[in-house]
Copies of this chain bind each other. A is one copy, B any other.
Amino acid sequence: MTAPLDFYFDFSSPYAYIAAMRIDALAAKHGRAVNWHPMLLAFAFKAIGTQPLVQYPIKGDYAYRDFLRSARELDIPLTLPEKFPIGTVTAARAVLWLKQHQPAQAVPFAKAIFQAYFVAGRDISAPEIVYAVAAELGIDAAALQAGCESDAIKAALKQSVDDAVSQRGVFGAPFIFADGEPFWGADRLDMLDRWLVRGGW
């Protein structure tokens, strides 16, 4: 029972941000590591015929309220950015590139990107902001940029997102697998915690 948890996220999702702030500590409680997988919700939404939560009338209003309330309960700082939701392809590619080339930096970078967007309100859809956040962590921004612009990393992200949706059934974010069991949503982290304690039920 020591397989890592698989954690799928899109940087544009407030619920993924909340989960990102909790997942490593939760996994560590159970002696687990976490494998962070950037994904792009737009592809999942297209595959199943949904759209971003906040674009639905009525349900969208509830979602805005719930984003903020969910973060408040956990004392996680969250300010909804003016530009929301956004495309996050460069940031996702950057995480993949770091996983391949500077793996120790990948998760700190992912957390920094989430915080840049949901705490500092920086526009992480802009590649130059993505590289600036990396530079602030001491990552070589020029090397990262070259990596993100490479065909190899573009293909790797596309493959990763395709696999997530069509092979693993990821249709939203955050989405977590524990020993193959799927958990969708920041509000399922407590259930995941109990699942790991009991080894399923």
Contacts and interface: CB of A to CB of B under 8 A. Distances in A.
Interface residues of A, number: 30
Contact of A50 (B56, B62, B72, B184): B56
Contacts of A171: 56, 58-59, 62
Given A187-B187, A187-B191, A188-B187, A165 B58 contact: yes
Nearest to A57: B48
A59 B48 contact: yes
Q: Give the number of times this chain occurs in the complex, counting copies.
A: 2
Consensus secondary structure, chain A interface: helix
Nearest to A200: B69
Contacts of A48: 56-59
Nearest to A49: B56
Nearest to A172: B59
Interface of A: 44, 47-50, 56-59, 61-62, 65-66, 69-70, 72-73, 165, 169, 171-172, 182, 184-185, 187-188, 190-191, 194, 201
20 contacts: A44-B58, A47-B57, A48-B58, A49-B56, A49-B57, A50-B50, A50-B59, A58-B165, A58-B169, A59-B171, A62-B182, A62-B184, A65-B182, A66-B184, A69-B201, A73-B194, A185-B187, A187-B188, A187-B191, A190-B190
